[in-house]
Structure 1
Amino acid sequence: MKTIPPTHATAERNIVVLGDSIAAGYGLSPEFAWPELLRQRLAETYPRYLWRIHNLSVPGDATPDAYVRFDAVRGLHPHLLIIALGVNDCRRAYSPVTARRI
């Protein structure tokens, strides 16, 4: 029996990216930011799904900045959340107490 791939997406999959300038694609055209490249690859590999990437990344954000946007993340009901932070955290001098809390 031959399996025929579907000609259109049958189910939607939501992915949220919460990150910094790297995830936002700072300095790039939107189609070259890695979240969009991920969406394209997923669409090629798993064509039965309609892949939606909600990129909530903000250049310059560190972990505490992104934390305040978690309500927006919840509202999108993601199947997957990708957190891409850390570079800007390294630039900031947090006290040991704050660093543990983050």
Structure 2
Amino acid sequence: MIRTLSLLLCLLCSTVSLAANKILVLGDSLSAGYNMPIEKAWPSLLTEAMATHGQAVNVINASISGDTTGNGLARLPELLKNHQPDWVIIELGANDGLRGFPPKVIETNLTKLITLSQDANANVALMQIRVPPNYGKRYSDMFAKIYPQLATRHNTVLMPFFLEEIILKPEWMMDDGLHPEPEAQPWIAQFVSQNLAKHLEN
């Protein structure tokens, strides 16, 4: 009887832990599994990766290829309402930067993404994004500075940009030079889990 009660208690704790760590990934093609089955994309592998750090999570991948910060902002309220996540990983801005959107617009949209998430009682992990100097070094520097400034201002987790590590391995990059291959996705999942796990509590 005692053993049965202990087992039930453990199962209950596991269920509560799982529910307490629901993660919504709001991103673009870097998280949506560009040119690959969605089950191979790093968010689909994040649950297993987090488990190696003793963290039980339930991941909802709401990423869409081509999305800008504005697109994400349009979709986020419904996502927050439907999923009620405890964490939101924001991986957006690359498409804004590649299209030369004004940094102020990007900053405003990211700010709204953060505050909407926080107002919904979700913690936020903002992923640093960097863009090539297509529009000059001044633009790319201004773009890159948006992320740490917002993370500090809104007390969010700032996650390193995984692509900076991936591009050091040409065999892990697609021919377009922008997207990681399926072979890189398990590494990305571990990279994200290592940076996120210390901020979660089971």
Normalising by the smaller structure, the TM-score range is 0.7 to 0.9
What is the 5 A alignment of 1:1-102? 9-11=14-16, 12=18, 13-46=21-54, 49=56, 51-75=57-81, 76-95=83-102, 98-102=105-109
Cα gap change, 1:67 to 1:58, in 2 (>3 Å): same
The separation in 2 between residues aligned to 1:62 and 1:95, in whole angstroms, is 12
- Between Structure 1 and Structure 2, how many residues are aligned? 95
**Alignment check: 8 A CA contact 2:27 2:64 kept:** yes
Residue 3 of structure 1 corresponds to: none
Q: Which has the larger radius of gyration?
A: 2
The TM-score, its normalising length taken from structure 2, stands at 0.41
TM-score of the aligned structures, taking structure 1 as reference length: 0.76
Residue segments in structure 1 that go unaligned for 5+ positions in a row: 1-5
The structure-2 alpha-carbon separation of the partners of 1:96 and 1:30, relative to structure 1 and needing over 3 Å to count, comes to closer
| Percent of aligned positions that are identical | 34
Deviation at 1:28, TM superposition (A): 1.9
CA-based RMSD of the aligned residues comes to: 2.4
Q: Mind listing any 5+ residue stretches in structure 2 that lack a counterpart?
A: 1-9, 110-202
Higher share in helix: 2
What amino acid is the match of 1:85?
L
